[in-house]
Amino acid sequence: MTQPEKVLTPCPSCGAKLSVPSTAGGKKIRCPKCQTVVAITEDMVNQPPEMVAPPAAVPKQVQGPEVSLGGENTFAGAQQEKKYAPESLGDQATFGGKLGSDDVVIDDDMEIVDLAGRYKVEGVLGKGGMGEVQLATDNRLGRKVAIKRIRGDAGKSRTAVSRFLTEAKSIATLNHANIVQIYDYGRDKTGPFLILEYVDGKSLFERCQEGAIPLEEAVDLICQVCDGLGKAHDAGIIHRDLKPANVLLTKDGVPKLTDFGLARVETGDTGHTMSGAVLGTLDFMPPEQRRDATQADARSDLWSLAATLYQMVTGKTPKIIKFKDVPQSLQDVLGKALEDAKADRYQTAREFKEALRASLQTSAPEVADLGEGQCLSCGTKNEGHRKFCKECAVSLRVPCFSCNVEIPVWDKVCSECGTKQAALLESRRHAMTAQQSQAESLLKNYGFDQATSLAVALRDETDPRLQQFTGWSKQFLEEIASGRQQQLERAGKLLNEALQHETAYDYSSAIHTLEQVPVILRGTSIPGQSLTPAKLLKRLTMTQSEVHRLDELIRERVVARRLHGLLQEVNRLLKLCPDRSDLQRVKAQLIDRDAKLIQKRDESIATAQRLVENQDYAGAIKALAQVNSYVQTEEVTQLAGDASEKLARLEELHKTIKEATAAKQLHGLLKQVDECLSLKSDDEEMRQLQDRLRAREEKNAAQLESIVQKASSLRDTCQFANAVKTLARIPQELITDAASDLLEFCQ
């Protein structure tokens, strides 16, 4: 027999030459020098020796019972030069490639937050080559959480941080009871972090260490994982690292899929995975993923899930799969799920789940195989004339699918209408299978009422030829009831959590929390709650919109220095976000500014009052003009108006007096000069004019008195004409009442 040709490839750890058979593609060999396990790909054995690239290597395992169940590291690159400690968060460390100088994160634009203000760390749940998970208490919500961090130099790796945030974003888009939920993610002074749901049980890996799991329990657990995995696949998310360590079990035995650190989105994996890179855990890695992680899809995850089920039911690692160790009812299902070609496997998680369920059901004889008198339910042979089975009492008569006349169950053709039953039976089964799929789809999308209606119809089917759905229906109805109760309880918890976030003024977290409630359930009344999730979500959304509006308005006005009335807007926003230190600072600055404006106003009022008293009206107006309009009062307005009126009157009097003086129209001018001096007493020019006008008036008064006395003497001697002539010498503007009366008498 011809020996296979061998090629040489270097050991990635020590550089020793490894002699690899050309038929060794997809296998692993151990370096005889350093004992490192090396995964051999098809590309390696098909290339000439000088072109063989170093393969991915598994770091040496710690010897001991803790690695007896496939405690392998998770690969994250074609080469692993750096050896990591075998510590793990489940079965072994998950690492993301060596850290090079060109892979250092300087600034990823993430806000630095203070976790200590909200979370109290109580201990470490686990450590891996790159990661650490801490147990903490959320002080705001009073619940346990898991804080996942990147350890050491990995926190400076762009690749590691990118995958870390990929996990956050991947889980955040999913909402399923069988997926560990993410509450928050970000970065603090020590590096990036995830705030995850705390699962208070153990991992499936730890459960497997106790020995093989009973078949029905194992299948039930994997069916639940299928539900969560199907949710991820529907969102276009491929896990790529499914293994027992990445399935956590609650104390109630509910499995939860976790660790999406190597997940990829089917629409693109730019920057995360290079073509040809090896990602995942070798024993649970499908063939295509061993060659190139970018080729992994939903069917690859199902291969890994099947390998996980193999370990569960056999208690052995899937390093070498022996189907003789698998319960017989499960062999065909696992055989198909573990096919090398993706096209030959189950194509969806739902299809895999249905096959697993069907494997647990005891098969009854098919109608086409029945002999005369044979019972379809138990297979007992009866006399052909019997109507009921003598063993299980099931009816041996069924209605024709065409004319509805009763015929023996074993008859292939109706004796009344001649219709062949097989085609109609297959059509009916097909329709019921479609109903089954529709019901499961409705349950998956929380359409409990419609799913119940379909399941009840399948359960109540009386035709013994169609009883294969009865067991499924009963179990499915229990799932619906359990699912409805779980979702209502979960919705209630999420509603309470959102209310607590609202009380803490964390509207984004409250909205994110409520968005985890399925849309179809948001309008449902929750026992013990006066609000539905939809109403609270609407209130929170409106509040957050108002916060964003006020925040943007305040920022714009601060930048534009339009600060008048801004304190009112800041107070409104602080009422919604009282913990905003930046707003507190702005408020303090605005209050200080207002205090200074008020102080300036009061000083201006005092100055203006003093200037008005000193008859400096223009100065008073100028002083009051410095008062900011934001702090103006009625007193300022009245004082400014009074000063303006006096200044205007003073200017008007100056103009009138100047014109009258120029025109020699001095009669009555003294009154205006007196008014002018009352407004401006230190006007020396007006004072001199006043003296001249008073001297003139005194002179005129003396002359007027002399004329009146002379006219009075003429009147007394009855010389009325001469009296009138004497009085006529008085200018019209100077005539007094006494002179006027005398003139009138003499006339």
> In terms of Cα–Cα distance, which of 126, 116, 118 is closest to 198?
126
Report yes or no: 680 and 650 within 8 Å, Cβ to Cβ: yes
Q: How do 182-188 and 143-150 pair as beta strands?
A: unpaired
* Residue of 624, 593, 597, 595 lying closest to 608 (CA atoms): 624
Distance CA 114, CA 131 (A): 20
Contact 422, 412 (CB under 8 A): yes
Q: Which residues are bridge partners to 395 per DSSP?
A: 388
Two tokens at 61?
């395992």
694: number of CA atoms within 13 Å, CB side?
8
**Contact status, residue 211 vs residue 341, Cβ threshold 8 Å:** no
d(CA 558, CA 283) in angstroms, rounded, equals 60
Name the CA dihedral angle for 219, 259, 311, 203, rounded to a multiple of 10 degrees.
Answer: -80
Give the tokens for residue 351.
């299809």
Residue pair 744/728 in contact (Cβ under 8 Å)? The answer is no
State the pairing for strand pair 247-249/255-257: antiparallel
Dist. CA 166–CA 188, nearest whole Å = 18
Quick check: helix, strand or coil at residue 17? strand
Task: Give 527-596 as a 3 state SS string.
Answer: CCCCCCHHHHHHHHHHHHHHHHHHHHHHHHHHHCCCCCCHHHHHHHHHHHCCCCHHHHHHHHHHHHHHHH
3-state secondary structure 545-559: HHHHHHHHHHHHHHH
By the 10 Å C-beta count (0-12 exposed, 13-18 middle, 19+ buried), 577 is classed as: middle
Catalytic pick among 91, 138, 184, 241: 241
d(CA 178, CA 698): 115
Q: What does each C-alpha distance from 602 to 605, 625, 634 come to in angstroms?
A: 5, 12, 13
Cα–Cα distance, 645 to 145 (Å, whole number): 74
Residues 6+ apart with CB under 8 A from 63: none
Angle at 552 between CA 550 and CA 557, to 5 degrees: 95
What radius of gyration, in Å, describes the C-alpha atoms of the chain? 49
Helix (H) or strand (E) holding 698: helix 684-716
411 in active site: no
Positive or negative CA dihedral for 295, 298, 299, 304?
positive
Q: Which residue has the tokens 């209502």?
A: 488
The amino acid sitting at 539 is: R
What is the C-alpha to C-alpha distance for residues 648 and 645, in angstroms, rounded to an integer?
5
Nearest to 196 by CA among 168, 174, 177: 168
**Burial readout 154-189 (b: 16 or more C-beta within 10 A, e: otherwise):** bbebbbbbebbbbbbebbbebbbbbbbbbbbbebbe
CA distance readout (Å), 298 to 227, 241, 445, 729: 13, 12, 20, 128
Of 401, 403, 396, 399, nearest to 372 (Cα)? 396
Please give the Cα distance from 389 to 378 (Å, whole number): 9
Tokens at 601, concatenated:
């106003």
Q: How many whole angstroms separate alpha carbon 108 and alpha carbon 161?
A: 9
Q: How many angstroms separate the CA atoms of 715 and 418, rounded? A: 160
Catalytic residues: 241
